[in-house]
Amino acid sequence: MMTVRKLNSITHLRSVGSDTSAQEDCLRFLHWFANEIDINTNDDISLTFGPNHRDYGSHQYRNDEELLEPLPRGYRYYSLGNIHREGSLQLPPQVIQSEQEDDNRARIIIRVREQNVRRRTSRIIDQVYITQHYEAAGYPRTAYDPQHTYGITTSLLRAIRRFSMDSDDINLLMSLRNRYRSNADDSHWKTISIGCMWSV
């Protein structure tokens, strides 16, 4: 198993790869996900949909290629984002369009802990990853590329969800990220986020 790099902030996210189009697709996908889940004050992430029902193109991920850590007892991995897998809940048009343009390669993987609380089953997400299928010929089409697999922290999810889904805000974030580059710090993004919140 390779060590998966963790992205803690948008400044970390901007350093991933050199393909601006792929970065924008990644950001749109993560933005949707960040606004679909529930994050409480303790940074616990609650699952709000049914991955066993193929919601949002989801299915159980067995980690056969040992891309990620072995699962502890009571945990499961799920992969999200297959636009060809039909479920009761569908991805929004913005994400579907990005996935179609990127040949349906991008995926979010979540690690879910199931526990019974007062006779109810609670599903908590304790790890989030962004990844993609291999692009080059000669690799299994179903395998994920470890060179393009990153852990996503709760802090980054909180930062991304401050933006609206409006394409202008997404484009603003991308252009500012490229403008600040290595000189950017989290204070830049907090200021930008507040500005975007007031503009909607």
Per residue in 99-147, pLDDT (tens digit) is 776 678 889 999 999 877 677 777 899 999 999 888 766 565 678 989 8
The two tokens of residue 199 are: 């503009």
Most confident by average pLDDT, 82-86, 151-155, 175-179: 151-155
**pLDDT given at position 130:** 93
Choose among 132, 186, 159, 170: nearest CA to 34.
159
Pairing type for strands 75-80 and 106-117 reads antiparallel
What is the rounded distance in angstroms from the CA atom of residue 80 to the CA atom of residue 107? 6
pLDDT of residue 29: 87
Is residue 65 predicted with pLDDT exceeding 60?
A: yes
Q: Is 104 helix (H, G, I), strand (E, B) or coil?
A: coil
* Residue range 80-92: mean pLDDT, rounded: 83
**Residue type at 132?**
Q
Q: Could you give the C-alpha distances from 52 to 29, 42, 92, 126, 194, in angstroms and in order?
A: 20, 26, 19, 18, 37
